[in-house]
């Protein structure tokens, strides 16, 4: 199995030299979570905040823009308001609802968190399988972890093979899944990112299994990638619905 994946200095799957954190909806806790994430990553924060002319007759748009920027600077220091809802591939978008849809860019669903990693766990869990999707998630997670000094947990669930008597879940992994895990380990080692391995036989839904593993391993972020052939019934969609832990869906 040839898996040509390499670590990039800039975010994987993007031509950008530096990522940006983008908030398309400034309601709820999204901007607060995004601001803390942008500070951790050391990258710019952009907020979708088009001029609102309602209720301010006679005020020109230039003044509206200035007042809005001053207000946002007070609430979210260092952020940049943008008036067009355009997302380039280098942006990390913060949104629960957008994470439920297939997108060409990376999305973090913060769920109910108002701050990124408020308890200083500094650990990311990556969901692996037997294909390229898990490795693409791994590449992004390694870039993220290396930038901020986090460690990784490589998680895989496997079905029990009735022909194997062992109770060790790792003994029930198929050949492709073993190759993916080995490649993920190699990538992390080459990038000098510490990691752990968690292989489980999960009887419940995959999404429930990964959320349970994230809790057990004390992780602050789950990283997943949709499979190229998945249209409906994606494990990412199920995890978005179930997890209280922020979920990153790699674009």
- pLDDT 10s digits, 41-57: 988 888 887 766 444 56
Q: Where are the beta strands (DSSP E) in 177-220?
A: 195-200
Comparison of pLDDT for 140 and 5, the residue scoring more: 140
The domains located in the chain, with CATH, are: 9-114 (3.40.50), 117-251 (3.40.50.620)
Q: How far apart are CA 88 and CA 49, in angstroms?
A: 17
Whole-number Å distance between alpha carbons of 8 and 39: 21
User: What pLDDT sits at residue 38?
Assistant: 92
- What global pTM score does this model have? 0.83
**pLDDT computed for residue 188 by the predictor:** 95
User: pLDDT tens digits for 10-69?
Assistant: 444 443 446 788 888 776 778 899 999 999 998 888 888 776 644 456 667 777 777 777
Return the ∠ at Cα 51 (arms to 22 and 96), rounded to 5°. Answer: 30
Residue-wise pLDDT for 160-210, tens only, equals 666 766 676 666 678 888 889 999 999 999 999 999 999 888 766 788 889
Give exposure, 192-212, as e/b (b: 16+ Cβ within 10 Å): ebebeebbbebeeeebebbbe
Classify residue 74 as exposed, middle or buried by CB count within 10 Å of its CB (0-12, 13-18, 19+).
exposed
Q: Is the pLDDT of residue 87 over 90?
A: no
Tally helices (H) and strands (E) across the chain. Answer: 6, 10
C-alpha 79/C-alpha 16 separation (Å) is: 19
Determine the 3-state secondary structure of 198 from DSSP: strand
Could you list the beta-strand ranges (E) of the chain.
Answer: 20-23, 45-48, 79-82, 91-94, 106-109, 123-127, 151-157, 195-200, 221-225, 247-250
Q: Give the model's pLDDT for residue 90.
A: 76
Q: Which residue has the higher pLDDT, 170 or 218?
A: 218
**Average pLDDT score over the chain:** 81
């Amino acid at each position: 199995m040839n898996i040509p994946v390499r670590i990039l200095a800039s975010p994987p799957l993007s031509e950008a030299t530096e990522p940006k954190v983008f908030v398309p909806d400034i309601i709820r806790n999204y901007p607060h979570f995004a601001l803390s994430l942008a500070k951790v990553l050391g990258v710019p924060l952009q907020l979708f905040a088009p001029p609102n002319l309602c209720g301010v007759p006679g005020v020109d748009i230039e003044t509206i823009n200035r007042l809005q920027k001053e207000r946002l600077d007070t609430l979210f220091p260092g952020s940049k308001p943008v008036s067009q809802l355009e997302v380039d591939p280098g942006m990390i978008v913060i949104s629960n609802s957008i994470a439920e849809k297939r997108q060409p860019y990376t999305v973090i669903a913060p769920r109910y968190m108002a701050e990124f990693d408020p308890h200083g766990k500094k650990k990311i869990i990556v969901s692996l399988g037997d294909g390229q999707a898990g490795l693409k998630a791994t590449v992004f997670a390694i870039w993220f972890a290396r930038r901020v000094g986090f460690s990784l947990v490589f998680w895989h669930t496997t079905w029990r093979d009735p022909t194997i008597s062992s109770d060790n879940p790792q003994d029930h992994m198929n050949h492709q899944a073993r190759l993916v895990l080995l490649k993920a380990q190699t990538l992390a080692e080459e990038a000098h990112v510490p990691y752990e391995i968690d292989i489980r036989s999960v009887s419940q839904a995959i999404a429930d299994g990964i959320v349970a593993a994230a809790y057990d391993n004390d992780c602050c972020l789950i990283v997943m990638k949709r499979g190229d052939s998945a249209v409906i019934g994606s494990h990412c969609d199920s995890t978005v619905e179930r997890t209280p832990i922020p979920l990153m869906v790699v674009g």
